[in-house]
Structure 1
Amino acid sequence: MNLTKLFEMQKVLDKRIVEDKGLQGHNLLPEKILALQVELGECANEWRGFKFWSEKNEPIVRVSNPIAHGNPLLEEYVDCVHFFISIAMYLKINPDDFVVTCDYTQPTITQTFNRVFSTVSSLDVLMDPETAASISLEDLQETLHEGFSCFVGLGEDMGFTWNQIEQAYFDKNAINHTRQDTGY
Structure 2
Amino acid sequence: MNIKKLFEVQKILDDRITKEHSLEGYYLIPEKTLALQVELGELANEWRGFKFWSKDQSPRIKVAKRPSMNYDDIEWHNPLLEEYVDCLHFLLSIGLELGFHRDAEVYLVKITDPIQMFSKQFQLIIQFEMSEGRQAKQNYYYGMLSQFLGLRKSLRFTWEQIEQAYLEKNKINHDRQATGY
TM-score by length of 1: 0.89
Q: In the aligned structure 2, how far is the partner of 1:141 from the partner of 1:73?
A: 28
Q: Deviations over 1:24-83 (max 9, x none)?
A: 111101000000000000000000000000112110001145445211000000001101
Percent pairwise identity = 48
Equivalent positions of 1:1-184 (< 5 A) are 1-67=1-67, 68-95=75-102, 97-103=103-109, 105-126=110-131, 135-184=132-181
8 Å CA contact 1:43–1:73 kept in 2: the answer is yes
SS of residue paired to 1:69: strand
Q: In the aligned structure 2, how far is the partner of 1:146 from the partner of 1:99?
A: 9
| Number of residue pairs aligned between Structure 1 and Structure 2 | 174
User: CA, structure 1 residues 162+107, in 2 after alignment: closer, same or farther (shift >3 Å)?
Assistant: closer
8 Å CA contact 1:48–1:59 kept in 2: the answer is yes
Structure 2: stretches of 5+ with no match in the other structure: 68-74
Q: In the aligned structure 2, how far is the partner of 1:139 from the partner of 1:99?
A: 14
Q: In the aligned structure 1, how far is the partner of 2:65 from the partner of 2:4?
A: 35
SS of residue paired to 1:98: coil
RMSD over aligned Cα, in angstroms? 1.4
Instruction: Give how far 1:2 is off.
Output: 1.9
TM-score by length of 2: 0.91
8 Å CA contact 2:64–2:77 kept in 1: the answer is no
8 Å CA contact 2:108–2:150 kept in 1: the answer is no
Instruction: Give how far 1:101 is off.
Output: 2.1
8 Å CA contact 1:37–1:121 kept in 2: the answer is no
